[in-house]
Each structure stands twice: as structure tokens, then as C-alpha cells.
Structure 1
Amino acid sequence: MIMQLQMHLKMDEKQPLIIKKPPTKNVDTRMIVEGKVGCLEKRRRRKGLRQFYEDQDRLMQLYEHDEEALHGENLEKIKEECDAREKRRLRIDRILASLTFSLNIGLLFGNLFASLLSGSYAVISAFIDSAMDTTSSIIVYTAAWAIKNTNMFAYPRGRQRLELVAVIICSVIMGVANIMMIIQSIEAIVTNSVDPDANLPTVAILVGGSLLKVLLMIVCYMHGTPGSKTLALDQRNDIITGIVALLGATIGDYYWKYADPIGAILVCTFVALSWFSNAFSHIPFIVGKRADKELISRILRIAVEHDSRINCLDHIMVYHIGERALVELHVVMDEHLSLKISHDVASELQQKIQALDFVERAFIHVDYSCDGDD
């Protein structure tokens, strides 16, 4: 079937075509790897060749999974499972956001108490981080609530992209807050207004808060959604903040007082860079970033093998405007086929593609000739 179809695809040169698994046996790879090159180049080629075969093996496994999962009698079941999985994912997101919010409220007052007792800039930076954590928890929880309680008349395709918007907003707020703390710490060094006190209650609050954050971070990372990963990043930064704040306050109290504001500067610099990096990594997913080659290849495979009455694929675009991807696919069929047949073939193909867990919506356009054909 694949060999019989004429593929006129309007794609970037780097976009994939249907790739068959290369032969892995009885192939002499020495001619590919070795030659008149140095040891480092040979090593790089071997590594690249090995990675190529691993990618192809994984792609073939995904092909087999799609072929089995998207078979006629399994399609409705797959769609129901995807819907149930999405609801369960949102429910867990709300639970994790609630737990994080409750913990942040407790640590907010704890770090405030520790800041007043110690007078340490490093501990104050931990308090500011807790205050921003509370703000980020509110934003993530509000986004999860809004997604669940969407008015489908006003938002006919739902509000799933609010999750990414919440992530970006949290990242910007956290980054700016830590930059302000860096400025205050530098002013303290310049004016010589540093006198930390690492007392026992301060140490107990910082250590206890860090241990609780470690447990919650592990749970958030295991869940793996964008919202929960943002919460996990939040916990990770809090752990680092607490440890460095404890070290800065202790060293500043007993050995060198400037270790305290320097510790605050280090903490805030790390946290600010981490949050800004998180924001920049999510921005492409809401402005139309192209999907990975592997995902495009899976969609092409499904489209090519869907129905023998599809003559060729004229155009494909797979891109993100949220966590999941949108698919635009133009298929070419015989102009003498009835409207009913063309519609049914395209509709079934659309349902198959939308059943993929990384696809939010698929748009199938039916044409009677490829561009450039007479």
C-alpha cells in the first residue's frame, strides 16, 4: 500500500516521511563508522548510528501499538479511556495543588517566624519564596478549577490551554520576586547592615519544611502533567532555598556575616534562572511549535494505511497551541467517488488520529488532485 501511493507532502525538509525499520542484521556498519577519521569522530559516528537504530526500533513499536489500538472495535474504547484518563489527570492536579497550597501556607508563617527570629537575609529569601509559592499554588489551582468548570457554550473546545498559561504566569512572578530579593541583599552588603542569628527554632523550621517538600516533590514528578511538574519545580526550588538559607544563616552567624546575604543572592539567582527557563520552555507550546518528528511519522503511517481509496497525502501540519497537538491533513481521493464515501473515509481517519493521546484535534480536508498535478 505504502509503495503504491504518491506522496506530495508540503513539509519542511526536516519533517519525516514514513520510515521503515532499517535492517539490523547482516549489515556491516564498519564502512559507515570507520574510515580516514580520528578516534573521536569514530566514536561520535558509532553513537549516532546506535541512536538511529534505537529511534527506529521505538518508532516501529509505536506503529504496532497504534495499529492495534486504533483498530475498528478498539477505537471507541480508546476514546473512552482517553477521556477517563484526562478527567483523572485533572482531579489529581487539583489534589496536588490543594496539598501544595496547604503546605505553602504553613511554611509561609513558619518562614515568617524564622525570619523575625534570625534577621537573616537568606532566611528572608526563603520567606519570600514561600510567599510566591502560595501565589503560584493559587494560580495553578484556579486554572485547574476553571478547566473543570468550563462553559462549553462560551468555550466550545474547552480551556485546556489555561494550564500552560498558568505555568508561564507563575514562572514570571517567581523570577521577578527573586530578582528584587537579589537587589535587597546587595544593598545590605553595601550598607553593612548584616547581623544573622541561626537559632534552634529557625533551624528546625527550615529542616522540617525541606523534608515535607521532598515528599511532595516526588509525588508531583511522578504524576508528570505540566501543572504537576510546575509544582514539583516549585518544591525543588524550595528545598534548595531552605538548605542554602540554613547554611548561609549558620555560617553568617558563627563565621562570616557576609555569607548570609551572599547565600540569599545565590538562592535567588538560581530560583530566578530556573523559573525564567521554565517559562521560556513552555512558550513555544502555545505559539504553534511543530510537533516532534516521531509524532508526525505516526500520523503519516495511520493516514497512508487508512484506506486504499486515498490516492496521496497532499499536505500535513502537526503543531502545538497547547500541551497536545493540532493536526491539519489534506488527503487526495478520486474525484468520481461519491460525497458519502469521501466523507466517511475522512471522518473515520479523523477519529483515528484524534484517538492518539498526543492529539487534541484533527482537521481532514479532502481534495481531488495534488497541487501541481494537471
Structure 2
Amino acid sequence: LGILWANVATKTIWLRSLVLLLEPKLSTFIDSLVDTTSGLLIMLSTWAIKNTDTFKYPRGRARLELVAALMCSTIMGVANIMMIIQSVESVDPSANLPTISLIVGGCLAKIILLTVCYRHGTPSSRILALDQRNDILTSVVALSCAFIGDYYWVYADPIGAICVCTFIAISWFHNALNHIPMMVGRRAQQEYLSRIMRICIKHDSHIKCLDHVMVYHTGAEAIVEVHIVLDEHLPLRIAHDIIESLTKTLTMLPFVERAFVHGDYRCDGDWQI
């Protein structure tokens, strides 16, 4: 929540600086508005994950974070396309001391937010970090091109705006495309699979081998499916304790959302049924 309010404050400064730089334009207001809207979407998704009734939604609430990230990426990409259209129609740069001061102050605040968001590491915080990075890039290019356009070449301002908005739009759409596979069952990293297999093999001496191991995503964190082979004469109590303790061990891993461990007495590949 603190990051959200800090983001709103920096957006206000950034909006004021661009108004001074480019004169009042609808596209500037829209871009700042969708930035704040994206922050609100992320805040609402985080609140819903923690406060939704677990009886009505026993599983899957964490996927709201990826849904919010996908929505934000799409909105921001479209907003930057609108900025490109506005830049083509605008050739009136103006750089002055108040504008420069506001932009530099806003960039310093955004650098701090960028560092905090990247260190947090969640999909939502990475979206906010990408937003801060793009705003810093936009501010620097806008100021530089406005200065060049004011003193040397008038078309430097719209050309710079078109270039940076094109880059930002592409980066947002690329970010959206990267989130889609995480929602439809993409296989997890090989490192995760190897770690899961090593934990299963070393977990208990009664585990003879692994019949099936699958690690995949339907959200930000991974789902783990493991079929372990035990001795067919092993007492049910011991088999149950092995499976339950292995399930808890796998679920405690930072990248795992849920783990499903099935006990079998032979390698028969029946997980495909």
C-alpha cells in the first residue's frame, strides 16, 4: 500500500512536469491515469487474494496476481500507442528550469521505488518496477528531446516521443505475452524439476524410485505432481507418513503452490489415466 501511495505521488509530480514540458494534452493525462489505475488493480488483486472467502474460492486466488499483471500490461501498452498518435500531432517543445527540477525529482523518487519493487520479487511488484523504469525512460527522453527541439531541431521532440513510446508499448505487450504461459500449464524451470527429484529421492529410504514427476505453472508458483514407488508390503501407516511428510516438504519450497504425492508399488505409468 505504501508503494501505491508513493507511486501516486510521483505520478502527480511526473504529470505536472510533462504538462509544463508539453503543454496540457489529453494523452499526458490519460497516460498518468492508466498508471494509477494499474496500481489500483494490483492493490485490489492483492487485497482479494488475502480477503476472499476461502469457502467459496478454496484454490486459485493467487492467480489473481497474474490476471492483474496481464491486464496492466495490456492497458499500458494501449496507452503508449495513444501517446504515439498524440506525439505525431504535437510539435511544440519547451524546456525550462521548473520542468527540469520536477522531472529530476520525480526520477530520483522513481529510482528508489524501482529498487524496492524489484527486490520484492512478486509479479505485481515486477509490474510496478517495469512501470517505474518506463516512466524514468520517458521523462529522460522527453526532457532531452524537448531541449533539443527547443534550441536545435523542432522535430526532435515528437520523434523522441514516438521512439520511446514504441519501445515501452512493445515491452508491455512482451510482458503480457510472458504471463500467458504461466496461466495455462507451462512447465517449470529445469532447476525446479531437478530440485524436486533430488528431494524426493533423498526423503526416505523406503522410496525405491520415482514413477512420475511433473512441475508446472497455473499461476506465479508451481504445482508439483509426484508418484513415488514403495514396497508393496509396506504397512499403510508408514506409507501414509512418508507421503504426508514429503508433501509438506515440497509445499514448503518457495516456488511451490501445491504438491500432490501419490504412492504406488510399481512403475506402471498409470498417472496418464
Answer whether TM exceeds 0.5 for this pair.
yes
Query: 2:218 maps to what in 1?
Result: 321
- Whether 2:159 is the aligned partner of 1:159: answer no
Identity %: 59
Secondary structure, in 3 states, of the residue corresponding to 2:35? helix
Higher-Rg structure is: 1
Q: Given the alignment, which residue of 262, 265, 268 partners 1:371?
A: 268
Residue 329 of structure 1 deviates from its aligned partner by 0.6
Distance in 2 (CA, whole Å) between partners of 1:220 and 1:372 is 43
Letter in 1 for 2:243: A
Letter in 1 for 2:9: S
Q: Given the alignment, which residue of 130, 133, 138 partners 1:233?
A: 130
- Whether 2:31 is the aligned partner of 1:129: answer yes
Distance in 2 (CA, whole Å) between partners of 1:199 and 1:250 is 9
Distance in 1 (CA, whole Å) between partners of 2:13 and 2:104 is 14
Q: Given the alignment, which residue of 3, 11, 14 partners 1:104?
A: 11
Letter in 1 for 2:194: S
- Whether 2:97 is the aligned partner of 1:200: answer yes
Residue 120 of structure 1 deviates from its aligned partner by 8.4
Q: Kindly tell me: are residues 354 and 277 of structure 1, through their superposed partners in 2, closer, same or farther at Cα, counting changes over 3 Å? A: same
**Residues 98 and 141 of structure 1 are in contact (CA less than 8 Å); yes or no, is this contact kept in structure 2?**
no
Q: Given the alignment, which residue of 209, 222, 231 partners 2:119?
A: 222
Query: What do the CA deviations read for 1:134-190 (whole angstroms, capped 9, x no partner)?
Result: 11111111111111212111121351121121111111111111112212333x2xx
Letter in 2 for 1:107: W
List structure 1 segments (4+ residues) > 6 angstroms apart after TM superposition: none
**Residues 111 and 126 of structure 1 are in contact (CA less than 8 Å); yes or no, is this contact kept in structure 2?**
no
**Residues 126 and 241 of structure 1 are in contact (CA less than 8 Å); yes or no, is this contact kept in structure 2?**
no
Secondary structure, in 3 states, of the residue corresponding to 2:177? helix
Query: 1:307 maps to what in 2?
Result: 204
- Whether 2:196 is the aligned partner of 1:289: answer no
**Residues 125 and 245 of structure 1 are in contact (CA less than 8 Å); yes or no, is this contact kept in structure 2?**
no
Distance in 1 (CA, whole Å) between partners of 2:12 and 2:54 is 33
**Residues 27 and 82 of structure 2 are in contact (CA less than 8 Å); yes or no, is this contact kept in structure 1?**
no
- Whether 2:101 is the aligned partner of 1:213: answer no
**Residues 105 and 134 of structure 1 are in contact (CA less than 8 Å); yes or no, is this contact kept in structure 2?**
no
Distance in 1 (CA, whole Å) between partners of 2:269 and 2:36 is 58
**Residues 111 and 130 of structure 1 are in contact (CA less than 8 Å); yes or no, is this contact kept in structure 2?**
no
Distance in 2 (CA, whole Å) between partners of 1:331 and 1:351 is 15
Q: Kindly tell me: are residues 102 and 159 of structure 1, through their superposed partners in 2, closer, same or farther at Cα, counting changes over 3 Å? A: farther
1:250-289 matched pairs, under 5 angstroms: 250-289=147-186
Distance in 1 (CA, whole Å) between partners of 2:139 and 2:236 is 66
Query: 1:142 maps to what in 2?
Result: 44
Mean alpha-carbon deviation: is it higher for 258-267 or for 158-167?
A: 158-167
Residue 205 of structure 1 deviates from its aligned partner by 2.5
Q: Kindly tell me: are residues 254 and 372 of structure 1, through their superposed partners in 2, closer, same or farther at Cα, counting changes over 3 Å? A: closer
**Residues 309 and 334 of structure 1 are in contact (CA less than 8 Å); yes or no, is this contact kept in structure 2?**
yes
Residue 197 of structure 1 deviates from its aligned partner by 2.7
Larger RCO (alpha carbons 8 Å, 6+ apart): 1
Aligned length: 270
Residue 242 of structure 1 deviates from its aligned partner by 0.5
Distance in 1 (CA, whole Å) between partners of 2:170 and 2:200 is 42
**Residues 103 and 139 of structure 2 are in contact (CA less than 8 Å); yes or no, is this contact kept in structure 1?**
yes
Residue 111 of structure 1 deviates from its aligned partner by 4.2
Q: Given the alignment, which residue of 160, 163, 169 partners 2:71?
A: 169
Secondary structure, in 3 states, of the residue corresponding to 2:160? helix
Distance in 1 (CA, whole Å) between partners of 2:37 and 2:20 is 20
Secondary structure, in 3 states, of the residue corresponding to 2:91? coil
Query: What do the CA deviations read for 1:190-221 (whole angstroms, capped 9, x no partner)?
Result: xxx62333333333332222222122212222
Secondary structure, in 3 states, of the residue corresponding to 1:357? coil
Q: Which runs of 5+ in 1 are unaligned?
A: 1-93
Query: 2:239 maps to what in 1?
Result: 342
Letter in 1 for 2:138: T
Q: Which runs of 5+ in 2 are unaligned?
A: none
**Residues 331 and 367 of structure 1 are in contact (CA less than 8 Å); yes or no, is this contact kept in structure 2?**
yes
**Residues 221 and 255 of structure 2 are in contact (CA less than 8 Å); yes or no, is this contact kept in structure 1?**
yes
**Residues 182 and 265 of structure 1 are in contact (CA less than 8 Å); yes or no, is this contact kept in structure 2?**
yes
Root-mean-square deviation (CA, aligned residues, Å) is 2.3
Q: Given the alignment, which residue of 246, 254, 257 partners 1:357?
A: 254
